[in-house]
Structure formats: C-alpha cells, structure tokens
Structure 1
Amino acid sequence: MRLNKALPWLPALLVLGGCPGGNTKDPAHLNEITVTCEPNPVIAGQTTKCTAEAKDQYGEKFTGVSGYDWKSSNESVAKVMDKTGNATTSAAGTVTISASATAGNETRQGEVTLTVNQRPPTLHTTNITTSETWRAAENPHVVRGQLVVNGSGEAPTLTLEQGVEVRFDQDAELRISNGAFRALGSQGAPIRMVANQSAPTKGYWRGVVFSTEGSGSELSFVTLSDCGNAAGAGACLAVENKAAPVLRDVTVQNSGTVGVRVADDGSAFGTDSTRLHVSGSTDYAVRMGANQAGTLPTGGSFTGNTPDAVELSGNVSLSQTWPNPGIPYVINSLILIENPPDDSTPENAPGPTLTLSAGTVFRFGANGEMVAGYHLTGDLIVNGTESSPILFSANSDSPKPGQWRGLHLADHATAASRISYATIEYAGAPSSLLATTGNLNVHGSLHPCEVDGPCPNIQNVIVQKGSGYGVYMSNGAKFGPDSTALTLRDNGNYPLSMAAHVVGTIPTGITFSGNTNNAVEISGGGVDITQTWRNLGIPYVLQGNVNVGNTTNPTLTVEAGTELRFAQNTELTIGSFASHPGALIAVGTAEAPIHFIPNTPTPTKGYWRGLHFFQGEGSRLDHVLISHSGAAGRFFGGNLNVYKELGAFVTNSTFSSSASCGVTVSDGSYSGTTAVTTDFSLATYNNTFVNNGVNRQCADAWIP
C-alpha cells in the first residue's frame, strides 16, 4: 500500500534530479546581415540610402555590431560614400552593394542588388534668353540644333553645375553670342560635353563658340569631345569677336577639324587661363591670331593632333611674350611686328616688342616669314638659352634649303632687338616685302642704329642650310656690341653680306664652313669710322668700290693673314676727298701676309682697279700682296696708286700682274695731288715687283 501511494511522485523527482539547470537557450551570436537600399531601382545621378541589419541565430535583431564596412561591386555605376550607407549613382546598370560586420569571432556579409536606370534626358532645343542653370541631378542634358545664349535685354548666363554631362546631337552647337557661359567643374566632378551617340565619332557635333566680347565666360575642369564638325566654326572650341573666355583645366579631344580656334580679331584666351589639353584633332591642335598668341595657356599638353602644332597668322601690334607650348608654332604667311598702320602714329613712335620663350620651335611654310619694324617701329627678342635654344626651320619632314622666306629685322627695328641661342635654317626664298634671300636679314637705314635702325646683338646663333645668304645685312645694318659666337654653315651663297663701314662689327667667335661662297661679301660703300677688319679665316669679297675717309679721319686696320678679294672693276680708295681723309694700316707678316687680289679662279691682268691713296696720312702697308689690278677707271692704273706724298709707307710687299705698273705715283700735275718722290722700288724698302705690264713704278701713268 505504501509503495503504490509513492509512485505518482517518481517522474517529478527524476526530472528534478536529472536537469538541475532548468529549461535555458544558447547565447545569441551574429548569424546574418540583411541589406536593403531605398529607392531601388534608382535613376542614374540620384542617391540611394542603403541600410544593413544584423540578426542572431534565432532570427532576432543582433545589437552587438558597432558598424558596417560597405562595398560596391562596380563604383562606376554606384559608389557608397560613407559608413551610413549613402550611395551615389552615375551610370545605368546593376551593382551589388554589400555590408560586412564582425562581432566576437563571427564575421558576416550581406548584400543587395541595386538597379540603376538611365535617367530620361533633359532636352535643350531653344535659345537661352534668360539666365539658367543646368544641374547634375538632371543628367544627361541633350542639346538638339544650334543653341544660342543671347538675351535681348540683360545678357543671360548659362551655368553648368559640377558633374554635369551634356550630350550633343549631330551638328548641334552651343554659341555664346550675347551673354556668358560658366561651366565650373572640379577634379572630382568634371563637366563633360560629348557626342550623343553610343560609339562617338570625330566631328559629330559642331562645338562651343564664344562670340561675346570680353571675358565673362569661364570653364574649369571641362572636357569637350568628338566635336569640330566642319559646318561649324572650324573647331571644337572657337573664340571670336573679341571674346576672351578663361579656360582652366579644359580638355578638347577628337575634333573633326582644329582643336581650339582663336580668331585674329582681338579674341584671346582670358587672363589666368592655364592647363589646356588638346588631343586627337584632325587638324592643328590650336589655330590663333599672332597678336594674341601671348595668351596661349601654359602647363597643358598636346598629343595626337594632325599636326601637333599651333598655327599662327596675322600681325603683332601688342608687346607680348609667346610661351613655349611644347609643340611647334607653324607660320604659313607673313607675320609683321610693328605699330598698326595709322596716319596719326609718328614713324619713330615706340612700337611693340615680341619676345620668344626659350625652347620654342617655329616651323615656316613656303610663304612664311617674320618681319619686325617694316613700316613703323617693332622689335623682336629671341630669348633662347644654352639648354633651351629656339629653332626657326621649314615646316617639312624632309626640309630643303629655300623652303621659307626668312627672319627680317627691318629698318624700323631698334637696338632693342636681339637673338640669343637660336638656330635659323632652310630659308632663302625671297621676302614678300624686302626681296632679300637670307636666313637672317637685317635691314638698316643708313643712320646709327642707336638713333634709327637695327643693330641687334646676335649671341650663340647658328645660321645654316639656307638657299641664299646666311646673314644678309643691308643699308648699314650692323651687329650689336655684345654679339658673339655666330656659326654660319652650309648656306647656298655667302654666309655673311654687309656694307663696308660696318664690317668691324663682325662678332668674335664667328665660324664659317661648307658655304657655297665661303667668304664675307662686302657690298661696297664708305668706311667712315675707325675699325679693324679681322682675319676670319676666310676671304672678304668686295663687290663694289670702297673708300676709307670722313671728316673724322678714320683708320681702317686689316689684320695679318687677311685676304681681300675684289670684284671686276672695283677699287679701294683712301681719303679720296680733300675734306675726308683716312688711313689704311695693313701690316702682315712673312708668315701671314695680307692679300689684295681678284675674286676669280682664273685671274687676268687688269681685273680690278687697285688701291688708291689720296688724303692717306698715317697709312702703312707691310707684307702685303697686290695683284692683277690696273683696270681702266677714273684714277691711275697701278696695283698701288699714290696721289700725295706719304713717305715710305710701303715695305716688304709684292706687286704682281698689273695691267700697267706695279706702283703708280703722281707727279703733282693733277688737281688735288702732289708730287710723290718716294721710290718704292728701291731695295731699302724690300718690295717685290713681278710680271707687271709696264714697269715697277711709274710716275703719273694715267689710263683714260
């Protein structure tokens, strides 16, 4: 009986004895993460808010997560911007947005597929007559037709926000006619102006045209691509009608014509423009007027254009410096540097100075030339350096001599003009204004350069491979006093041509080689200032008569070893006018005599007219050779002709092959002469007479 009554309690006792802790669950841990984004789908350009929720193994919210690490599988479609899950979208597509977290030893990741749909385009089809702003949230913007910013009242401003994308239909254009265009992107959110086609082609749309005078327009971090349709303004980006937009970090690519065109009408790049990048153009990278080339932005790049060059045209009437863009300037026509023609401008009024930056390359077409100071004042400064010289050459992959018209400093250029560290080559075609054929041409005005005329300092300059002269100096043009280190080589005529009275300015350090006529050509004229004709290692060729004399009684000194060659029927006179005395000092040595000889490989007696001394006190000839003169003329017919007693001023010299006498002296019977009693044939003077036509010395041997 007692046992039966105890049995109903046994199960309870067994349970209590076997489960001392009671009915408990395992601790919660991180088991999964779920991710959602709202809105989803989303329009490209909009933002979406993505959230993550952590759950434990029981499906309950897990609170042990301090934060999430967010990732996008394709950031070109959508990018999570911060720890809170805010995502920006930029292109149509699908992307996986994931969030991961760690709690204890457990790391879990959740993800969601975000669909980004293309936003319906914002169409622009009508002209802009009042100010408006195109926003990135309304991307893409599509332009159809030719849109003009042009207000009838207050000039409107079209503003583009950072990150705006504008797509242009075929043949579309944006023209700023009376207003402003401000597209201020940033490095992180640039502005794109592109073709409205899936596979863009060059020249699909016309481009952007600035045609409002002034610089109210501004572009920063803007890319224009696949524009430059030939039906437009001839470039992806065109500036005309005195417009001057400010361009900073602007990229122009894949133009069907020129990349950037700046018209020669006062249009320019605005102040502070910088870092212009042009690539892939079918034509020149930049085409602009020479008078505004100083505004060309620096710090940019030019690649893959056909050609990679800046084409310049027009004249320069403003003082400026042309920067070195890293690609050549191409000049296909005359560029004239001077005051603009104006009847009210005095001829000697200060004019513009064009300065060329170190390292710049200039390539000239067949009609290309650069002239400073032709009608009115203008100067050219070629500012190369030893490490960055400036090059003037032909615009050809296989250049030949005579392919362009040369560099010219005309008679209204001043002493301010100079050329340093430069190479000038392949010119020689006649100038359209001056008809000269040098690589470098300096045109004087018969006045001292300090008063009126050029005397440029030429320093460390190479002049080579011209079809004509290397350096041609006319009308008394001369080298400046600081000129030095001039190299003249491989030119098709004389390397240097100049008037007699400026030969003494030939710079030190000058070298000559490979020229067709390897001599210095002297055009003739008067030596009216004291000077020295140095021994240059090549002859001087006198193409006209030369007289040494002036009221200041100048002395011409000829260095030992020098050779003077005379054209047919030319002469050298000393003090030929009573009021214009002069002196010639030609003192050679036995090893280095001075030669006065004919300029012909086959000399004949009487080829030229010899040396003539009138008012020549102070002259001296020693160790000289005078040969093959005696041609008929207005004076005596000897190799040496003395009209007034000068004493024994000739020694150790040779007189040969005269058509008449070796030496002819006056007997005093002619007006302006005196009897010359010195007998230069005496042994005491050690002179030599060889193969002369009449005698060693004759008195008054006049050849009518």
Structure 2
Amino acid sequence: MKKVLIVLLASLFLFTGCEEEIIDNPQVNTLEANAGADQQTATNQQLVLDGYKSKDLMNKAFEYLWTIKSKPENSQASLTDATTSSPKFTADKAGNYVVELKIHNGVFDDTDEVSISVTEVDNPPVGKTVILNQNITEERRLVNLIEDPAIPDYLVTEDIHVTSLLTIDPYVTIAFEEDKAIYIDNPGAIIAIGWGHKNIIFTGKNKTPGYWKGLIINSSSALNKLERVTIEYGGSSPASGIEFAANLVLDNAAPGKITLVTTTIQYGAGYGMLVETGANWHTDSFCNVFNNNQIPLRIPASQVKSIDGLSYFYDNSISVIEVIGTTVSDSEEVQWGRALTLSTPEATVPYLIKGKVEVTGGLRIHKGVEFQFDSDAEFTVTPTGYLSAIGTAAEPIKFHGVESAEGGYWRGIAIKSNHDKNELSYVEVFDAGNEDMSGFDRKAAVALDGENHAKLKLTNSKIEKSGGFGLFVENHAELMDLTFTRFENNTSSAIALPANEVRKVNNMVATSFIDNGHNGIEIFGSVLLNPNKEESVWPALNFGATYLVSGFVGIATGLKVLPGAAFKFTNGKGLVVIGDGYLNAQGSDNLKIVFTGANETKGFWNGIHFRTNSDLNVLRNTKIQFAGKNELPGVPTASIYVGGNYVSKLNINQSTIAHGEGFGIVIGTNLGTINSDFETANQFEDLTLGNVYKSDI
C-alpha cells in the first residue's frame, strides 16, 4: 500500500509540474480576449461596448485596442476611448458593423469580434412632423416625435415600398396624403406594436373614409405583426395588382403574411381588410375590431379559421364577411366560429359565401354561425373531408341564400365523403337547389354522393325553399340518421332516396313535410338489398305524408310496411318482389296501407309483382288501386301478379283491389300459389277486365 501511495504522489507531482511549466513558459500565450455579446441599436444612439471579460490566465497586465473592421458603405462612424475596456460607439448608417477587440501584454496578442446590427431612426426636432417620401431599403425605426396624437409624427406624401425591416414604436401616428400607400414587399417586414391604450395609428391626412390607399402586405416574413394598431380612412382605390380597395390588404403574390392582435380597422371606403387567396392571415390573431367600413372583411374560405371569438364586427355599411370559395385543406380539423357584433351577446355577422367551397379536410362549425350564399355558391365535402355542423335549438347554424327566390337561390350542400363525422344537427338549409351541384344530375338543398358511398347524419334541422329536392340521397350513399327534421316549401319531393335507405326513416320521429312538391319521400328506381339480409321496415310518414315511387323498385330482401303507410306510383312504375325478398304489408282496420297512382286514373301505374315463394308475402288491410298498366308482351295486365316464370306465393286478405285497368289479381297457376279464400276475403271494385285471372304463364 505504501508503494502505491508513493507512485500516486510521484504521478501527481509530474502532472502539476508539467502544468506549471506550461503556464510559466514565456512562449505560451495566456491572453483571452472577449468583446462581449452581439448587440442591436439604432442610428445616432450611443452604445457602450464591453471588454471587461477579457483576461490573462497569469493575471498579468495587458492593453486594449478597439477598431471597426467593417461598416456600411459611406459610414463615417468611429469609436471613442478605443484603448479602454469600454469604448463608445455611435452608428450613422443602418446596417451591420463588426468591431474588433485586440488585447496585448507586450509579447502576445489575442482578438475577438462583436457584431452590431443597426436600424435607421430619424432624430428630427421634437414636435415636427417628418415627411416620408422615399422607399425604405435599409432597416428603419419610426419613433414617437409628437406627444399630441392628433398631430402626425410622419406624413406619407408618396407611395412607399419597404424592402427591409420597418419597426414602428408605440404612440406613433402616420398620416397619408390622398391616395398614397405603404407597401411591405419581400424581403421586408413590418413590426408595429403599440402599448396600453395608445395605439399606433395609420390614418388619412383628412379624416374622410377612402382618403388614402391603404397598408399593403406583400411580404411573407414571419416577423410581420400589427399589435395595438389602428388603421383608418383608407381604401381610396385598389392598390397596384389588387382588385379591390381596402384599409389593409394581404396580397397573394409573395404571398403576404400578417399577425393581427388587438388591432382596429375602421372607416374604410372599401373593405376593412382584404385577404387574397393564397395569402396568410395567421391564426395567432385575436381581439381585433372592424367597424364603420363599407364591408368589414373579405377572405378566402381557407382563412375563416383565423376569425377568433374575441374579435368584433359592427356598424359597417354592409354587415357581412365575404368568403371567397376556395379549398379548406388543413391536415387537422379546422373550426369556424361565430363572427360577433356588439349589439347583443347572441348577435352574429353572417359569412357571405361566393363561389364553391371545397372541404378536403375536417371542418367543424360552431353553434350560431350564419352563412349567406351567393347565386353561384355551393358547399362541397370531398371524399377526404368531413363536415360537422352541430348547433343548438337556441343557436342553430344557418345556411341561407342571400335572397329568398322561387326555385332556389344558391346550389346547396354536397356530401361526397363517407366519414362518420358528417353531421348536420340543429341546422337550417334555406333557398338552395337553384342548379345541379357538381357531380349530381338532380337539384337539391343537400345531396349525398353514391359513387363515394357518402354518409350523413341529419337531425333536428330545417330544409326549406329548395328549387329541387330538400334531401337527395344517391344509390349506395347512406343516411345514418334522419330524425326531428322539417321539410317545407321545397319544389320537388321533400326527400328522394333509393329503396335501401328508406329503412333509415323508421325512427323518423317528429319529421314533418309541409307544402313540398311532394310531401314525403320519393323512392327512385332501385333495389332494396339489405347487405345483412335483415328485414327492412318502412313506416307511415307523419302528418299524412306519403311515399312517391318514381321508378321500378325491386324488393330483394325482406320488407315490412307498417300500418298507415301510403305509396303513390308515377306513370308505369311498380314493385317487384325478387330474389330472397318478401313484401309483408299488414295494416289495420283503422290504418290501411295504400298503394295507389300519383294520378287517380285507371292503369296509371304498373302494380305489384310477386316472384318469390316466401310465406311472409302478405297483404292484409291494404288498398291497391289505379294500377294495371302492364307493358310486357304476353303478360295479362293486373294490379297484382303472382307467379309467371317464378315459384311465387301470396297471402292476401281484408284488402281492396280497385279501379284497375286490367284484372285485379292474375295468378300463374303453374308456379304461383295464393290463399284459397282470396276471392271472398277481399273486395274487388271497378276492374276493367274482371277480378281474377288464372293464367298458365
């Protein structure tokens, strides 16, 4: 152990002895220069540099020498006290300066550099307005010069283009001569951040709406920010390359980008703020006010998400927010909230939709939001998107036309997505269906696309004054729910569905039909084929509404029709029970099930043809009337046909077959069977060819 200790002590002595030899060695430089951290300042402002952290490891004395290594062109800046640890520096030009510190101990030197970023600042006499009439190509800061905000600190007398950083201090007021503007262009940026209740103000020299052109943001810099700023009396004319006049414009060329916080935009002759398609109004914006403009705001649909629940729109000549039809394509769910006004807590400003809005991602619309649609407008949810619009009874979501016009005013809502989140609840869809929506051949207020197996849940809503159907569901689309919904004054049928979707109305509690082209549900030509082969149930509709069958409907799986249901058939159409299907229609003494023609004319519709051998094919307490139009050669005309080339069965009793063009019932005796008492258990009235015909066919 003693030997080990001696070895360790010897090693320690050798190591420390080596270190002392290096430090004491006059050939080793022990100086460390430190010029301090990089700094920022403004022109004509004195800056003290800091070399105090420079040192000699041997604590020996050394000298300082500071020199300017680089500076902007034509700069005459110099240092004072350049041989001390803290010289003074005043920049005369905006730009970047590099100052070198050299320390010297008589033998060795060491150097370090500090970078100084300088912005432009005017330093005119206090109390005098400064004229701005030249482009800003170097960093510049505008400071508060005049205490009275009624007197501008700066007056813009020419259009100014900013291609560097423009910083505006709190309390600054900038006035503009007639029809002048400031353009923030790439690579420039604007940072204007006020303080307290004293905003930075951009205003007209004369306080007249539309006196100056506006503030035009064509810079995509993330630095662009207006906070506690007032922009007023602009919008004299459209800025260069812009279609409309506005106080504040986000141009799409760069594209422009801005964050607005607690900013007021007012007294504009055109729009308060105009955001062109492709520009970026940052979603971190909030608490802004738009008042006393012609129209407060025009934005693309992709930017509606930037309207927060703490901003207000009031006292504008036209109280709407114009939304230009574009794609809403965010990867995460987008939320659209109410645009508030100050009149009452519940009052909102409507969004005016112009053109086609396509939702390719998720969109959730908050309760109380109101939309007005221009005549060419439609709202489409693409196969990759979804729409969740859930209001409340007190605050429904409104999709209305700008005007209420006979035949509809706007196109409607098209659902082309099979997302389970597609839902309209406590929603009003009024004045739609003026033209076919993209991809559809029928006019409707709300339409579901079959090609993409679209889905929709529709509850507690109102669909009124459509120029076509209220609701149109294509074959292979799916209506997930339909309850507590009112259809009123729609030109065509209230609802048009394929046979497969009628079962979804079985729980159609309190759904009502008032003054529609057809009060009820239209079933167009299709096949009822429940994929699970479960029995479908078709209920009676409320308030005397009926089904309108406008095409041949095949019943390929089980169908039960409930008492009180009524079906009207268009010219030459009918029901055919095929495959694994059956038709079980059992009314009651008080609630008959009725199958009749849309016109009460003999032979108006084809009738019911049974081609299956199911014991569940039952007609009881039914009425079959005005049928018997059979255009098949060699087949006798009849209201009911059992058999033909198919093994078929029917049990019919306590029913009435009346006003038929052909026979009441035709039975193909080779393959068709019917209850033996059918002739006495039913009533036959006014049948052109007789009650019953037993055919070999």
Bin of the TM-score, shorter chain as denominator length: 0.7 to 0.9
Shift of residue 387 of structure 1? 2.5
Equivalent residues in 2 for 1:512-551, closer than 5 Å: 512-529=513-530, 530-537=535-542, 538-549=545-556
**Cα distance in 2 for residues equivalent to 1:425 and 1:597:** 32
Are residues 1:273 and 2:285 paired? yes
Shift of residue 336 of structure 1? 2.1
Are residues 1:287 and 2:287 paired? no
* 1:562-618: CA deviation from partner (whole Å, max 9, x where unpaired): 11111111120111xxxx221111000111111111111x422x2211111112402
Are residues 1:382 and 2:389 paired? yes
Task: Select which of 532, 557, 560 maps to 1:557.
Answer: 560
Three-state SS of the structure 1 residue aligned to 2:580 is coil
Shift of residue 214 of structure 1? 4.1
**Cα distance in 2 for residues equivalent to 1:440 and 1:184:** 46
**Cα distance in 1 for residues equivalent to 2:447 and 2:462:** 14
Counterpart position of 2:684: 689
**Cα distance in 2 for residues equivalent to 1:648 and 1:210:** 77
Counterpart position of 1:209: 216
The one-letter amino acid paired with 1:263 is E
Whether the 8 Å CA contact 1:648–1:680 is kept in 2: the answer is: no
Counterpart position of 1:90: none
The one-letter amino acid paired with 1:357 is H
The one-letter amino acid paired with 1:388 is E
**Cα distance in 1 for residues equivalent to 2:463 and 2:165:** 53
* 1:288-315: CA deviation from partner (whole Å, max 9, x where unpaired): 1111211124312212223111111132
Shift of residue 321 of structure 1? 1.5
Are residues 1:134 and 2:139 paired? no
**Cα distance in 1 for residues equivalent to 2:411 and 2:305:** 23
The one-letter amino acid paired with 1:163 is Y
The one-letter amino acid paired with 1:436 is R
Are residues 1:638 and 2:642 paired? no
**Cα distance in 1 for residues equivalent to 2:449 and 2:284:** 38
**Cα distance in 1 for residues equivalent to 2:636 and 2:249:** 72
**Which stretch of the first structure deviates more once superposed, 642-651 or 178-187?**
642-651
Whether the 8 Å CA contact 1:439–1:470 is kept in 2: the answer is: yes
**Cα distance in 1 for residues equivalent to 2:353 and 2:236:** 24
Are residues 1:511 and 2:512 paired? yes
Counterpart position of 1:112: none
Shift of residue 386 of structure 1? 2.5
Whether the 8 Å CA contact 2:266–2:293 is kept in 1: the answer is: yes
Equivalent residues in 2 for 1:404-415, closer than 5 Å: 404-410=410-416, 412-415=417-420
Whether the 8 Å CA contact 1:215–1:243 is kept in 2: the answer is: no
**Cα distance in 2 for residues equivalent to 1:559 and 1:609:** 22
Shift of residue 328 of structure 1? 0.6
**Cα distance in 1 for residues equivalent to 2:650 and 2:192:** 88
Shift of residue 701 of structure 1? 7.5
Whether the 8 Å CA contact 1:582–1:616 is kept in 2: the answer is: no
Shift of residue 556 of structure 1? 0.7
Three-state SS of the structure 1 residue aligned to 2:480 is coil
Equivalent residues in 2 for 1:144-223, closer than 5 Å: 144-150=157-163, 156-178=164-186, 179-197=188-206, 200-223=207-230
Shift of residue 636 of structure 1? 4.4
Shift of residue 367 of structure 1? 1.1
Counterpart position of 2:78: none
Superposition RMSD on alpha carbons, in Å? 2.0
Counterpart position of 1:628: 626
Are residues 1:608 and 2:622 paired? no
Structure 1 or 2, whichever has the larger Rg, is 1
Counterpart position of 1:437: 443
Shift of residue 531 of structure 1? 1.0
Shift of residue 679 of structure 1? 3.7
**Cα distance in 2 for residues equivalent to 1:365 and 1:216:** 36
* 1:422-463: CA deviation from partner (whole Å, max 9, x where unpaired): 111112201352343212222222xxxxxx421211121101
Three-state SS of the structure 1 residue aligned to 2:690 is coil
**Cα distance in 2 for residues equivalent to 1:678 and 1:157:** 93
* 1:48-86: CA deviation from partner (whole Å, max 9, x where unpaired): xxxxxxxxxxxxxxxxxxxxxxxxxxxxxxxxxxxxxxx
The one-letter amino acid paired with 2:305 is G
Whether the 8 Å CA contact 1:415–1:454 is kept in 2: the answer is: no
Are residues 1:315 and 2:288 paired? no
Counterpart position of 1:60: none
Three-state SS of the structure 2 residue aligned to 1:393 is strand
Three-state SS of the structure 1 residue aligned to 2:500 is helix
Three-state SS of the structure 2 residue aligned to 1:676 is strand
Equivalent residues in 2 for 1:199-278, closer than 5 Å: 200-232=207-239, 233=242, 234-241=245-252, 242-265=255-278, 267-278=279-290
* 1:362-414: CA deviation from partner (whole Å, max 9, x where unpaired): 001111111111xx533222122233211111113x6555111111113x453
The one-letter amino acid paired with 2:336 is W
Structure 1 runs not aligned, ≥5 long: 1-116, 151-155, 339-351, 446-451, 669-673
Over 3 Å counting, the alpha-carbon distance change for 1:431 and 1:146 in structure 2 is farther
Counterpart position of 2:427: 422
The one-letter amino acid paired with 2:474 is S
**Cα distance in 1 for residues equivalent to 2:193 and 2:386:** 39
The one-letter amino acid paired with 1:545 is F
The one-letter amino acid paired with 1:460 is N
The one-letter amino acid paired with 1:403 is Y
Over 3 Å counting, the alpha-carbon distance change for 1:677 and 1:307 in structure 2 is closer
Whether the 8 Å CA contact 2:659–2:685 is kept in 1: the answer is: yes
The one-letter amino acid paired with 2:661 is A
Structure 2 runs not aligned, ≥5 long: 1-124, 147-151, 340-347
Counterpart position of 2:11: none
**Cα distance in 1 for residues equivalent to 2:406 and 2:160:** 48
* 1:649-701: CA deviation from partner (whole Å, max 9, x where unpaired): 21111111222221111122xxxxx1536445343xx2111122223221128
* Count of residue pairs brought into register by the alignment: 536
**Cα distance in 2 for residues equivalent to 1:401 and 1:611:** 35
The one-letter amino acid paired with 1:360 is V
The one-letter amino acid paired with 1:294 is K
Task: Select which of 653, 656, 664 maps to 1:662.
Answer: 664
Three-state SS of the structure 1 residue aligned to 2:516 is coil
Three-state SS of the structure 1 residue aligned to 2:472 is strand
Counterpart position of 1:335: 357
**Cα distance in 2 for residues equivalent to 1:252 and 1:207:** 11
Counterpart position of 2:25: none
Whether the 8 Å CA contact 1:276–1:298 is kept in 2: the answer is: no
**Cα distance in 2 for residues equivalent to 1:464 and 1:660:** 41
Calculate percent identity across the aligned residue pairs: 22
Equivalent residues in 2 for 1:351-362, closer than 5 Å: 352-362=361-371
Over 3 Å counting, the alpha-carbon distance change for 1:647 and 1:477 in structure 2 is closer
* 1:264-299: CA deviation from partner (whole Å, max 9, x where unpaired): 11x2222321112111222x2110111121112431
Over 3 Å counting, the alpha-carbon distance change for 1:558 and 1:131 in structure 2 is same
The one-letter amino acid paired with 2:351 is Y
**Cα distance in 2 for residues equivalent to 1:379 and 1:263:** 25
**Cα distance in 2 for residues equivalent to 1:518 and 1:473:** 17
